[in-house]
Amino acid sequence: MTTAYAGRAKAVPGEADRPRGPALPQTVEDTGLSNEFIIDLILKVLYTQGARTGRQLVDTICLPFPFVDEQLLPLQHRRLVEVRGASGLSREGYIFDLTGEGRARAKDAIESSQYVGPAPVPLGHYRHWVDLQSIRHAHVNREVVEKAFDWLVLPPGMLDQIGPAINSAKSLFLYGESGNGKTAMAETIARLLGGSLYIPHAIEIDGQIMVLYDPVYHKPVVDEREAPGTVIEALLDERSKEHDQRYVLVHRPVVLTGGELTMDQLDLQYDNHTKVYQAPFQMKANGGVLIVDDFGRQRMPPRDMLNRWIVPLEKRIDFLTLHTGSKFPVPFDVLLIMATNIDPKALVEEAFLRRIHYKIKAESPSTEEWERILRRYCESKGIEFTPFAKEYIYREFYQAYSIAPRACHPRDIIDHLLDIAKYLEVEPTLSADLVDRACRSYFLDFPTST
C-alpha cells in the first residue's frame, strides 16, 4: 500500500437514507427553551453587538422572528429595550437597542454566561437527531470500497477486511510498520462514507451551554446538491430555509488527532471566563469518523485511553461531567479508527484489544506492489518510468544496507529527485545519478559518494 499520489479518484460515498432537516419550531415550546433563556440571549446580543434590527437578531440567534418579537414586545413594555429607528415597514426592520435598565439586566445575564450566538438546542433534541442520522445507517459495498481505494496499492484481500469494518460503525485498529499507509487508509475510509448531517451550533444542558459546531471539523454544505444521502428535494428550493436554523448541514465530520491527545481533551472543556463549554473530540465526531493516529504515543498510557472508552465502545453512550460535578450521557456515534506502528501486544493486553472489533495489519509492500507504487507516482509527476530505478534502489540500498521497503518510499524518493533536479536545473529522470542522490538524501547513515 502507499500514500496519496496526484490525480487520485474521488471517493464514492455510501448511500444512506437521511431524515429531513429539523422542523422549523412553531411555538416557543418547540424550541425546548424557556422565555427567560431567549430573553437573556437577546439582551446579550444587543449588549455585545449594539443596536440591531429584528432581522439581524434573527440571523444571530437563529430563531424565527415571531418568537423573537414575542420577547421584544414585553421587553419594550418593561423599558429594557427601545426602538431607535426603522429600516423597513415591518417590525423585522425596526432597530432595537438597550435602555440603561436593559444594559444592567444584560450584564447580569453575561455574568452567568458570555455565550452569544445561535440559540442552543436541548440535549434531548440533540440525542434524537444523532440517532436519526447515526453512522450505523451508512453502508458501503465492495464496488464503493474498491473505487475509493483505487489510488492505493493494497495487498490482495485487504479491501474485504476493510469493508465489513466500515459497515460495523464500531472500531478499527490499523497497525503495522511506519510508512505503509495506515493514515492514508484511515482518511480514505472517512472520505468514502460521504454524506452529510445536521448538527446544532450549541447544546443546552441544565442551563449550561456547550458549543458543538467547530469550523475545523464541521464543513457546511454550501451547495445542497453536494449532500449525497440527504433529502435533496427539500433543500433545492425555498423550503430549504424552513428547517430549524439552530442546526447547520455539514459534511460527515472527520476528526483527526494524534500524539498530542490528552485525557482531559476527552471530556468537556470549561472556560471559567466565558462560562461556556466546548464539546470534546469524540462528540464533534458524532455521525462521522474519529481517527486517533500514532496510538500509543499519547501523553497517557494506552490502557488509560482504552479504559476511558470501554463503555462508549460497547454501549455507544459516553458520559461527560459538568464543572458542578453533574454527569450526563451523550451519544458515542463514531467509527473509531486507531492507527499505530507499535506492536499491539506491546501496547495493551488481549482483554483490551477484544474491545476493538476489527484489527487490520498494514503489511509492507511486496516487490511487485512496490514497483506499481513507483510507476504510479512517476506517472503522476510526468516522469518516464523505467524498471532500472526499482532494481537500483533494491540492490544499492535495500539489500546493501538491509533496509526494509516501505510503501511511502517511492513517493518520498521521487519527491527528493524532483527537488534535486530543480536545483541542478536538469530534467527529472530516473537516471542512476539522480536516483542515487535522492536515496542518499532520504535514507540515513550512508557513506558520501566520491
- Per-residue pLDDT of 294-329, as tens digits, reads 887 777 787 787 788 888 888 999 999 998 889 999
| DSSP category for residue 323 | T
CA distances from 153 to 27, 135, 173, 370 (A): 56, 27, 19, 8
Residues 316 and 226 in one domain: yes
Residues 286 and 396 in one domain: no
Q: Which residue, among 106, 336, 62, has the nearest Cα to 213 in the 3D structure?
A: 62
CA distances from 398 to 150, 291, 435, 447 (A): 27, 32, 13, 15
Integer Cα distance of 246 and 260 in angstroms: 32
Q: Is residue 16 one of the residues assigned to a domain?
A: no
Is the separation of the CB atoms in 262 and 307 below 8 Å?
no
Contacts of 130 (CB under 8 A, 6+ apart): 286, 287, 331, 333
With 60 as the cut, is the pLDDT of residue 2 above it? no
Which pLDDT belongs to residue 190?
84
Which pLDDT belongs to residue 346?
79
Which pLDDT belongs to residue 60?
96
The last residue of one of the domains, among 55, 89, 118, is: 118
Q: In degrees rounded to 5, what are phi and psi of residue 57? A: -65, -45
The per-residue b/e assignment along 281-316, b for 16 or more CB within 10 angstroms, e otherwise, is bbbbbbbbbbbbbbbbebeeebeebbebbeebbeeb
For the ranges 284-298, 357-371, 416-430, the one whose mean pLDDT is highest = 416-430
The whole-model pTM stands at 0.83
The upper half-sphere exposure of residue 402, i.e. CA atoms within 13 Å in the direction of its Cβ, equals 0
Integer Cα distance of 433 and 427 in angstroms: 12
- Per-residue pLDDT of 381-422, as tens digits, reads 999 999 999 999 999 999 999 999 999 999 999 999 999 999
Residues 206 and 327 in one domain: yes
Confidence of residue 11 (pLDDT cuts 50, 70, 90): very low
C-alpha cell of 366? 511486496
- Per-residue pLDDT of 278-298, as tens digits, reads 999 999 999 999 988 888 777
Q: Is residue 190 one of the residues assigned to a domain?
A: yes
CATH of the domain at 49: 1.10.10.10
Which pLDDT belongs to residue 12?
37
Cell 475510509 -> residue? 189
C-alpha cell of 322? 459538568
Count of domains forming the chain: 3
Residues 292 and 378 in one domain: no
Integer Cα distance of 175 and 171 in angstroms: 13
* DSSP string over 264-321: GGGS-EEETTTTEEE--HHHHTTTSEEEETTTT-SSS-HHHHHHHHHHHHHHSEEEEE
Residues 42 and 172 in one domain: no
Residues 205 and 67 in one domain: no
| DSSP category for residue 243 | B
Q: Which residue, among 221, 295, 285, has the nearest Cα to 260 in the 3D structure?
A: 295
A 10 A CB-CB count for 24 gives 14
- Per-residue pLDDT of 20-62, as tens digits, reads 789 999 889 999 999 999 999 999 999 999 999 999 999 999 9
Which pLDDT belongs to residue 341?
85
Which pLDDT belongs to residue 371?
96
Q: Is residue 210 one of the residues assigned to a domain?
A: yes
Residues 67 and 179 in one domain: no
The last residue of one of the domains, among 69, 94, 118, is: 118
**How far from each other are the two terminal CA atoms of the chain, in whole angstroms?**
35
Element (H, E) at 387: helix 387-393
Element (H, E) at 287: none
**What rounded mean pLDDT belongs to the chain?**
87
Which pLDDT belongs to residue 446?
61
> Residues in the chain, how many?
450
Q: % helix / strand / coil in the chain, to the nearest 5?
A: 45, 15, 40
Share of the chain above pLDDT 70, in %: 90
Q: Based on C-alpha coordinates, what's the Rg of the chain? A: 27
Q: In degrees rounded to 5, what are phi and psi of residue 157? A: 90, -15
Contacts of 436 (CB under 8 A, 6+ apart): 392, 396, 449
- Per-residue pLDDT of 181-194, as tens digits, reads 888 898 898 888 88
CATH of the domain at 219: 3.40.50.300
C-alpha cell of 62? 437563529
Residues 238 and 350 in one domain: yes
Q: Is residue 54 one of the residues assigned to a domain?
A: yes
Residues 99 and 186 in one domain: no
Which pLDDT belongs to residue 111?
93
Which pLDDT belongs to residue 133?
94
Q: Is residue 256 one of the residues assigned to a domain?
A: yes
Integer Cα distance of 218 and 215 in angstroms: 5
Cell 429595550 -> residue? 81
Which pLDDT belongs to residue 448?
54
* DSSP string over 25-72: PSSHHHHT--HHHHHHHHHHHHHHH-SEEHHHHHHHH---HHHHHHHH
Is the separation of the CB atoms in 365 and 184 below 8 Å?
no
C-alpha cell of 168? 460495523
Q: Is residue 288 one of the residues assigned to a domain?
A: yes
Residues 206 and 295 in one domain: yes
Mean pLDDT, rounded, for 362-372: 94
With 50 as the cut, is the pLDDT of residue 175 above it? yes
For 399, the domain range is: 367-442
Confidence of residue 275 (pLDDT cuts 50, 70, 90): very high
Which pLDDT belongs to residue 279?
97
Residues 336 and 250 in one domain: yes
Integer Cα distance of 61 and 70 in angstroms: 14
Residues 132 and 258 in one domain: yes
Q: Is residue 17 one of the residues assigned to a domain?
A: no
The last residue of one of the domains, among 63, 94, 118, is: 118
Integer Cα distance of 48 and 31 in angstroms: 24
With 50 as the cut, is the pLDDT of residue 15 above it? no
Q: Is residue 11 one of the residues assigned to a domain?
A: no
